[in-house]
A and B are shown apart, each in its own frame.
Chain A
Amino acid sequence: MGVSMMSGRDRRSRRRLSPPSPARRGEAVKGWLYVSPTAVFVAVLFVVPLLLVVRMSLSRWPLLTGDQGVNAPDNYTKVFNNRFFADSVVFTLKYTVLATALLIALGLGLALLVQESSRWKGLLRASFLIPSSLGLASASLLFYVLYSPFAGPAADLMEKLGWTFLGSPNAALFSTVFLIVWRFAGFYMLLMLVGLQGIPAELYEAARIDGASRWQTFRRITLPLLRPTLALTTIMCVTGSLLAFEQFYILTKGGPDNSTITVVQLIYTMAFQGQNDLGVAAALSVIALIALVVINAMQLRAFHNPDEK
């Protein structure tokens, strides 16, 4: 212990003895100047709000009266005791799995399609991509009208069949997933296309010379080399789905019978619809954030290529 203390003091004094040259110090200042815009942005727009949310989650903080002092861990117990907490977590996971599987498969399929066919390539790419230019909220409103049993174009048909797009829990889930697939498939197609075009053509040529079948080529060349792209798209898709809000807020409002409440929607409801408790909402936000970090870390590990390094 004594030795280590000595050596510590030693090091410090040595550093004090040899101050950095003016040139090096100038470089350090310059470096700080270069990073400062980003650092300020990160601090103001990310770190400060994050700290605020954490503080909120530990305090009694009603929407209308503001901070009333620390009450930890009441907000967290309230979150776990909320009657929609478990349901919303299960529903969000279910939706995420469904949306991610569909979007990744469809995105890859569409990318292969527009890569292969030559004549209709431009038209196909454009038509798949156009829905992505619409904001998610606008797209949701569009589908709200399309699905409406009162004003929608399929109103008569729905009446005849006695079935509505948003009438039952499963119908509401699949109708919303359809909207999301329609809105995002083109976008994921584009990402996949970039990944596909990054695979050298020689590999395919070599495979053809070796007599590999289409499936073998896909399985042994395309998929492994597409790994980074697949990792990116899966992480984006999972994160986006776990944070789903607008589509359900506009289309289903969590209904019918509270069957489509996502976690973020629950946060919104806690903060602004009835309970009006920012503390509890912040506590759920913190829980969601931690869960997201853990899930993303797991995904990164799963997609990590052991050969890289």
Chain B
Amino acid sequence: MKIFHRRGGLRSVTVVGLSVAVLALAACGSGGSDAAPGAAVSVAADGTDDGSQLTLWTRAPLEKQAKLLVEAYNKSHKNQVTLTVVPNDDYVAKVGAAAGSKGLPDLFAADIVYVPNWVKQGLFRDISANIDGLGFKDSINKGHLGAGTVDGKQHVLPFVLDLSMLFWNKALFKEAGLDPNKAPATLEEYAAAAKKIQALGKKDVYGTATGLNCGGCLVFTWFPSVWAAGGQVMNGDGTQANFTSDQSKKVFDTWRDLWKSGAVLPSSKDEAGPTWTAGFTEGKVGLMFYPATLLSSTKFDVGVAGIPGPGGGASTFVGGDGIGISKDSKKAAQAWSFLNWMMSEEAQIEVLAKDNDVVSRGDLANNKYAAKDPRLVTINEVAGKGQTPVAMNFQQAYNATNSPWLSLVRDCVLSEGTDLQPNNQQITSVLSQ
């Protein structure tokens, strides 16, 4: 072989490739001890704090809360966590690439609606044994814990909760002759209030707003209306859509009527997400279903209540991110130290509650910071009544830009909703894939 021999070269490449694959397989097969990537985690209750370097990934919308938590942990522990914040739209691709090349960080957070799928794909390690050891396990937010539970094993703890709530602009309520201290109790009252504010005829002021081209926004703000009325949007496994129920139909009818009456911010029609809250934040919208995480950055006087359904009730979408130990982590004991601290009273109250964020433990809902602002108590209390929908194909059915859920809503609200049945069927066929 004086010059590069083609077939020989190919063969040696194949041999190298095969041996890499064999090694990788061997690594997968040697689970058992806690340190081995992929295996179930069962470590000391407090984890290990021995000055290790840990890595943590999260997506940009939760940057503020993630930074606060990581800074506080690093200050009080020998372990040091390095935080990486990834743009929202790139997060799935980045996690996917890392999972494929076995390069996931020790800890990573995931949009709670994607958690069931990611747990099933084996991206998170089973931490049931340690979660069971927590004395306050029963007061941890059930929606988040449930989303990370597969075959009775828990994989994920709530990292940051984001709830959808009814927000109203008190100044505009007063101007329109509505009681600024009383929330609309039903979806019908909500619509009536929006029309009244629209009737003020003020320039650039609208009754309400939403994101009619943003699947995630609509899931987040409209599912609770159905739940509040006692309906369900899917079956228990998340394999069948149920938008032909009376409760769902009433929700769509109310919004279609609102849209036709002109009481909805016109740019809502094409709003794909980036600016869906901007109108309310600028004080140009009377009332809106809005993310509770934005309460701390809302400068004017707003009221906060649970999202009502047709005929009353109150509910919320318990969104936000769950966090767990990745399959690739070799420092499970150290990573658990972070998770254990994150769930502690100290972190929940002195970091999250202090920043006006929602705590993820029900037993801490009435804390000293919440007591200063009754709206926080409302949010914390509604959190217990809310739901986190579970479905394996959630992203494709609802959040994706070409999701059948978007087609359904746009047909129901912007036109006459004549295709409700086939659109519902389309969602089911994506969900049940």
Contacts and interface: CB of A to CB of B under 8 A. Distances in A.
A275 B400 CA distance: 9
B96 A274 contact: no
Given A63-B100, A66-B100, A159-B266, A274 B396 contact: yes
Nearest to A28: B3
Contacts of A32: 3-4
A66 B401 contact: no
Contacts, number: 93
Interface string B116-132: 01100111000000000
Interface stretch (B154-162, B381-389, B402-410): B402-410
A29 interface: yes
A64 B118 contact: yes
B245 interface: no
Nearest to A36: B4
A276 B117 CA distance: 11
A254 B406 CA distance: 12
Interface in A234-278: 253-258, 261, 269, 271-276
Given A63-B92, A274-B396, A275-B396, A150 B267 contact: yes
A182 interface: no
A166 B270 contact: yes
Contacts of A198: none
Interface string A47-78: 00000000000000011111000000000000
Contacts of A256: 213, 270, 410
A272 B270 contact: no
Interface stretch (B188-196, B272-280, B309-317): B272-280
A148 B402 contact: no
B101 to A, nearest CB: 8
A254 B410 CA distance: 14
A149 B393 contact: no
B266 to A, nearest CB: 6
B406 to A, nearest CB: 8
A276 B270 CA distance: 25
Contacts of A271: 93
Interface residues of B, number: 37
B272 A253 contact: yes
Interface in A74-90: 83-84
A273 B213 contact: no
A270 B270 CA distance: 23
Nearest to A155: B267
Given A255-B401, A257-B410, A272-B96, A151 B275 contact: yes
A164 interface: yes
B401 A253 contact: yes
A149 B118 CA distance: 37
Given A255-B213, A274-B397, A62 B121 contact: yes
B339 interface: no
Interface string A164-179: 1011000000000000
Given A65-B99, A255-B272, A273 B400 contact: yes
A258 B402 contact: yes
B109 interface: no
Contacts of A159: 266
B330 interface: no
19 contacts: A29-B3, A32-B3, A32-B4, A63-B93, A63-B99, A63-B100, A64-B118, A65-B122, A149-B267, A149-B270, A150-B271, A164-B266, A254-B401, A255-B270, A256-B213, A257-B407, A258-B407, A269-B401, A273-B92
A100 to B, nearest CB: 26
Nearest to A48: B13
Nearest to B401: A253
Nearest to B269: A167
Interface string B266-309: 11011110010011000000000000000000000000000000
Contacts of B48: none
Contacts of B93: 63, 271-272
Given A258-B402, A272-B96, A164 B397 contact: no
B258 interface: no
Contacts of B265: 150
Interface string B384-424: 00000000010111011111001100100000000000000
A158 to B, nearest CB: 8
Contact of A64 (B95, B270, B279, B402): B95
Interface in A1-55: 29, 32
A64 B410 contact: no
Contacts of A272: 92-93, 96
